[in-house]
Structure 1
Amino acid sequence: MPDVLPSPNYELWCYTPSFDGNIILAVIYCILLGGHLVILLRDVANFGIPLLIGGILEIIGYGCRIYSHYNLDNIVVYTIQLVLILVAPLLMAPTLYMFLGRLISKVYGEGLAIRPQNWLFTGFFICNIICFLIQCIGAGLLPQESLSNQVQRYSYIVFAGLLFQSVIYLLVVILALLLHFRMRKSVNTLGSRTHWQAYLISFYVITILLLVRTLLRVIEFAAQPSEYINTQEWILFVFDAGCILSVLALSFIWYNLKPRLEPVYIEDLEYPRRNIFQLK
Structure 2
Amino acid sequence: MAVCNYSIPAGDCTLSTCCLRQATLHYLPNLGANAAYLAIFAILFILQVILAVKYRTWKFSIPMLCGVFLEIVGYAARLWMRSKIFSLNPFILYLITLTIAPAFMAASIYQSLGLVVTKRDPLISRIKPRNYTLIFVSLDVVCLILQAVGGALAAEGVRKDSRKLHTGTDIMVGGLALQVASLALFIVLSLDYAIRYWKKHYAGTRVVRTLDDSFSEEDRHASPMQNFIFGLGLATLTIFIRCVFRVAELQAGFGGPLANDQVLFMIFEGPMIIVAAAALTLYHPGRCLGAQPKAITTQTPEQKPTRNVSVETTEYNKPLGSRVLGSAFG
CA offset digits 1:115-154 (Å, max 9, x no partner): 2333342121111111111111111011222344442222
- Give distance in 2, aligned partners of 1:120 and 1:103: 11
- Give distance in 2, aligned partners of 1:54 and 1:205: 17
Correspondent of 2:196 among 182, 185, 200: 182
Aligned to 1:37: 49
Higher alpha-carbon deviation: 203-212 or 41-50: 41-50
- Give distance in 2, aligned partners of 1:161 and 1:80: 18
1:258 equivalent to 2:270? Answer no
- Give distance in 1, aligned partners of 2:275 and 2:143: 22
**Pairs aligned (count):** 267
1:238 equivalent to 2:267? Answer yes
- Give distance in 1, aligned partners of 2:229 and 2:218: 12
Matched residue SS, 2:289: coil
For the aligned residue pairs, the C-alpha RMSD in angstroms reads 2.9
Matched residue SS, 2:284: helix
TM-superposed CA distance for 1:210, in Å, is 0.5
1:93 equivalent to 2:121? Answer no
- Flag structure 2 segments of 5+ consecutive residues without an equivalent: 1-8, 14-20, 203-214, 306-310, 312-330
- Flag structure 1 segments of 5+ consecutive residues without an equivalent: 270-280
Correspondent of 1:139 among 148, 151, 157: 151
Aligned to 1:77: 90
Aligned to 1:104: 117
- TM-score using structure 1 length: 0.84
Aligned identity (percent) is 19
1:65 equivalent to 2:78? Answer yes
Correspondent of 2:28 among 12, 16, 31: 16
Larger Rg: 2
Correspondent of 2:139 among 103, 116, 127: 127
Does the CA-based 8 Å contact 2:250-2:256 persist in structure 1?
A: no
- Give distance in 2, aligned partners of 1:31 and 1:119: 33
Aligned to 1:170: 184
TM-superposed CA distance for 1:84, in Å, is 0.3
TM-superposed CA distance for 1:236, in Å, is 1.6
CA offset digits 1:182-202 (Å, max 9, x no partner): 211233979875345554343
- Give distance in 1, aligned partners of 2:263 and 2:64: 24
Does the CA-based 8 Å contact 1:97-1:121 persist in structure 2?
A: yes
- TM-score using structure 2 length: 0.72
CA offset digits 1:141-183 (Å, max 9, x no partner): 1122234444222211111111000000011111111111121
Does the CA-based 8 Å contact 1:5-1:144 persist in structure 2?
A: no
TM-superposed CA distance for 1:19, in Å, is 2.4
1:216 equivalent to 2:245? Answer yes
Correspondent of 2:222 among 184, 194, 198: 194
Higher alpha-carbon deviation: 170-179 or 250-259: 250-259
Aligned to 1:55: 68
Higher alpha-carbon deviation: 234-243 or 7-16: 7-16
Matched residue SS, 1:182: helix
TM-superposed CA distance for 1:57, in Å, is 0.6
Higher alpha-carbon deviation: 60-69 or 188-197: 188-197
- Give distance in 1, aligned partners of 2:176 and 2:256: 19
